Amino acid sequence: MLSLYVPGGSFIHRAPAAVKLLILLIGSAALFMVSSIPVHAAELVLIAGLFHAARLPWRDTVRQLRTAMILLIPIFLFHVFITDWVLGLETVLRILVLLLLAVLVTLTTKPTEMIDVLEAAARPLRHVGVNPSKASMMLSMVIRFIPMMMREAQEILEAQRARGLDRNAIALLMPLLIKTLKMADDLSEAIEARGYDPEPVVPVWRKKG
């Protein structure tokens, strides 16, 4: 509901999230190293094939790209007038490849799978005092509270609209903040009542001292 994930059974959907994220990471770096119009055109054809294989509905893909497209046009025009159209085409194609690749990963991977990958990737950071289980608990809490806070914000917006205050940022933010601060107290109590113990992970370089 909250995520952009589109369920499906293609090999891209089933591929491990770690692999997809790694390819995206390497791919995005490579794009800046090798930049030419024929290469990007070939990449576009390849990505179009992947989108076809993933059987993603056009609607979701287009919706994801629409806002980016609005940016691509001025970037292209900028180059046409200031530098030259070849560089403009190359730049726009490169951004397009990058965006399509990222959209493909976003639409075919469940956020929970990506959280698991992040938790695994963050494990080595334990040595500098980062606690991966705490981090993933906080991520879960954010996902839990976003829909609630959005509904709250919606109600505030409607209430202030009725009073003609919906153009007043302070009148919108203040009630939302008060709600947040009150909720924070209740929630901390509830978490501790259920036996949660935020035992600190002591960084190794501090243990020695």
Partner 1 sequence: MTTRDMVFVALFAALTAACAVFPPFQAPFVPAPIIVQNIGVMLAGSILGAKRGGLSLLLFVVLVALGLPLLTGWKGGFGVILGPTGGFILSWIPAAFVVGWFVEKYWHRLNFWNLLLFNVIGGVIVVYVIGIPWLAVVANMEFGKALAGSTIFIPGDVIKAAVAAAVAMIVKRSYPLVHA
Partner 2 sequence: MIQVSNVNHRFGERAVLTGINLSIRERRVGVIGANGSGKSTFARLLNGLLIPDNGTVIVDGLDTREDVKAVRRRVGFVFQNPDNQIVFPVVEEDIAFGLKNLKLPKHEIAQKVDTVLAKYGLTHLRDQAAHLLSGGEKQLLAISAVLVMEPRYVVLDEPMTLLDLRNKKLVLDTIHTIEQPVILITHDLDHLQDFERVIVFDEGRVVADGPPREATRRYTQAMA
Hey, which residues between 138 and 197 contact partner 2 (CB under 8 A)? 140-141, 143-144, 147-148, 151, 183, 186-187, 189-197
Site for partner 1 in 108-127 (CB under 8 A): 109, 111, 114-115, 118
The total number of residues shown for the chain amounts to 209
CB atoms within 10 A of CB 56: 21
* Cβ atoms of 90 and 35 closer than 8 Å: yes
Query: What gap in Å lies between CA 44 and CA 35, rounded to an integer?
Result: 13
143 binds partner 1 (CB under 8 A): yes
CB atoms within 10 A of CB 114: 19
User: How far apart are CB 108 and partner 2 at their closest, in Å?
Assistant: 20
User: How far apart are CB 75 and partner 1 at their closest, in Å?
Assistant: 5
Q: Which does 195 bind (CB under 5 to 8 A by kind): partner 2, partner 1, none?
A: partner 2
Q: Which one-letter amino acid corresponds to residue 186? A: D
Closer by beta carbon to partner 2, 48 or else 120: 120
User: How far apart are CB 185 and partner 2 at their closest, in Å?
Assistant: 9
202 binds partner 1 (CB under 8 A): no
56 binds partner 1 (CB under 8 A): no
Closer by beta carbon to partner 2, 81 or else 196: 196
The two structure tokens encoding residue 78: 């900028």
Query: What gap in Å lies between CA 209 and CA 206, rounded to an integer?
Result: 5
Helices (H) and strands (E) in the chain, counts: 9, 0
List the one residue from 71, 86, 121, 128 that touches partner 1 (CB under 8 A).
71
